[in-house]
Amino acid sequence: MATELILLNYVLDNLTPQDDPEAWKAILDVISEEFEERYRADVHGKQPWFLRIGVCSHWWRPHQARWTQAGGFAWPVGYSANGWPGPPEFDWSVVLSFDGEHWKQVDRFFGNKHVVLRVAVPARTAKHKQVAVNTVWSKSHSPIFYGFRNIDSRWICVAASDEHTQGRIINARKTADSTPV
């Protein structure tokens, strides 16, 4: 059974000229694959599953804090109320529900118990050659970082903070010629 990838159309209206749509396509493809893999592995399968994805323009970076995987990225966390590192705050976000095959944009989460993947993408991706994305699953509350680099005008996921337990990240389903919009 083929599952659709998350389409750029869900976020396109929120992107600015400073946001690179190609970076967003690469990020959405990797998130789609990771989301689907966890969804398929879930033994309960009765809970509604959601993705909340958006942009954060205020990342915590004192003294050039680094996530050193794959050559290094800015540390992908935001500010908490007391000024210490915490979950990135969204400038804007969209909520998508997943039924096992298809994505649908919704206004809010529904159901008594649900699973949510929260994804914060840095603003101004058009200005940078690399970005680190912060994700958190509601089931674990542990952040997972994804590092993307623009190599030869193509955005590629080069690192994930959970590679030691989940294996190496690959962009298996996406090629430059088959990107859905």
User: What confidence tens digit (pLDDT) does each residue in 17-68 have?
Assistant: 999 999 999 999 999 998 998 898 886 667 899 999 999 988 876 556 778 8
pLDDT (0 to 100) of residue 98: 92
Around Cβ 171, how many Cβ atoms within 10 Å?
A: 16
The domain ranges of the chain are 9-166
| Reported confidence tier of residue 116, pLDDT bands at 50, 70, 90 | very high
Backbone φ and ψ for 165, nearest 5 degrees, come out as -110, -30
Q: What is the DSSP letter of 90?
A: P
- pTM equals 0.85
In SS3 terms, the chain reads as CCCCCCCCHHHHCCCCCCCCHHHHHHHHHHHHHHHHHHHHHCCCCCCCEEEEEEEECCECCHHHCEECHHHCEECCCEECCCCCEECCCCCEEEEEEECCCCEEEECCCCCCCCEEEEEEEECCHHHCCEEEEEEEECCCCCEEEEEEEEECCEEEEEEECCHHHHCCCCCCCCCCCCCCC
Q: Which residue has the tokens 């929120």?
A: 14
C-alpha 87/C-alpha 96 separation (Å) is 19
